[in-house]
Amino acid sequence: MRSLFTIGLIASWYASNIGVLLLNKFLLSNYGFKYPIFLTLCHMMACSLLSYIAIEWLKIAPMQRVKSRLQMMKISALGFIFCLSVVGGNISLRYLPVSFNQAVGATTPFFTAVFAVVMTSKREGWITYVTLVPVVAGVIIASGGEPLFHLFGFMMCIGATAARALKSVLQGLLLSSEGEKLNSMNLLMYMAPVAVMALFPAALYMERGVVGITIALARDDWKFLIYLLFNSALAYFVNLANFLVTKHTSPLTLQVLGNAKGAVAVVISILIFKNPVSITGMLGYSLTVAGVILYTEAKKRSM
């Protein structure tokens, strides 16, 4: 029974991860709702509300209180970087196919290793760094073979991937003491409102008229409102499923499942959006995934 429950959690995590990615692409590119900052704002508003309900009312995770102004400042810094990573990822989906977006996103371990050395002087064994070579080489090959390559979209995707890695390294640095550590659900509950406060004025200034356009679209097509609400709720559920899978398995299992999830997302996105792919691009992505698997194995052996 327990194994069935775990399998169900993993399936939910896969479905929510891939679902929010495909819905983002559909809204931002195929549907023509070209407002990635506002879309991210909707995601963060849903995360703020639903994470509070899940912790305070449903007791999915124990409530952890912020104990000092300094701790809140650290959480706010993480929230801002988290916000940049999500916005960058959503902007990239306007210009890049999901398959290539996932290929670039797979280079997160490379940026994590770089930031870890620069910010903490923590060095891994040489074999760990060797495994990062195919991770980067694969993306370079995939870029050269991507029929729908877009330089600005590629830069946004790289930026989002780097910001995601920076957040994970900073989280270990800023919230390192036992009194300051927060589980992922509590951290999201405190980070999401910070992201909302940063995104609201940014959306109003950089995506002028977006609120009126969104209301008009919802009036003209009720399905758009359903898409937007479901997409926002799904963005929160990704984090919830991630937390529950980690709780019932292990962080290492999550890494392995994440590698497979990227490959599944690529196949499904190609089947749905029918974007052209080249043999060179697929070989490059396969090399990156192989590098990430080797990196995970090398990290496990070095522990």
Question: What is the DSSP code string of 89-119?
Answer: HHHHHHHS-HHHHHHHHTTHHHHHHHHHHHH
- pLDDT, one tens digit per residue, over 56-68 is 999 999 999 999 9
What value does the mean pLDDT take over residues 252-263?
Answer: 77
Domain range for 75 is 2-302
User: Which pLDDT value is given to residue 252?
Assistant: 64
User: Which pLDDT value is given to residue 147?
Assistant: 93
Provide the mean pLDDT of the chain.
Answer: 92
- pLDDT, one tens digit per residue, over 36-63 is 999 999 999 999 999 999 999 999 999 9
User: Which pLDDT value is given to residue 128?
Assistant: 87
What value does the mean pLDDT take over residues 235-253?
Answer: 85
- Considering the entire predicted model, what is its pTM? 0.93
Distance CA(5)–CA(183), nearest Å, equals: 22
Coarse DSSP helix, strand, coil percentages of the chain, rounded to the nearest 5 percent: 80, 0, 20
- pLDDT, one tens digit per residue, over 278-301 is 999 999 999 998 998 888 888 777
> Residue 121: pLDDT band by 50, 70, 90 thresholds?
confident
User: Which pLDDT value is given to residue 303?
Assistant: 64
User: Which pLDDT value is given to residue 161?
Assistant: 96
> Residue 245: pLDDT band by 50, 70, 90 thresholds?
confident
- pLDDT, one tens digit per residue, over 71-111 is 999 999 999 999 999 999 999 999 999 999 999 999 999 99
Task: State percent of the chain over pLDDT 70.
Answer: 98
Distance CA(25)–CA(94), nearest Å, equals: 7
Taking the chain, what is the end-to-end CA distance rounded to the nearest angstrom?
A: 32
User: Which pLDDT value is given to residue 241?
Assistant: 92
Distance CA(232)–CA(20), nearest Å, equals: 8
User: Which pLDDT value is given to residue 124?
Assistant: 80
Instruction: Evaluate if residue 249 carries a pLDDT over 70.
Output: yes
Three-state DSSP class for residue 15: helix
Domain count, the chain: 1
> Residue 247: pLDDT band by 50, 70, 90 thresholds?
confident
Name the burial class of residue 31, with classes exposed (0-12), middle (13-18) and buried (19+) by CB atoms within 10 angstroms of its CB: middle
Distance CA(144)–CA(35), nearest Å, equals: 28
Residues composing the chain: 303
Tokens of 222: 């009720």
Distance CA(56)–CA(64), nearest Å, equals: 10
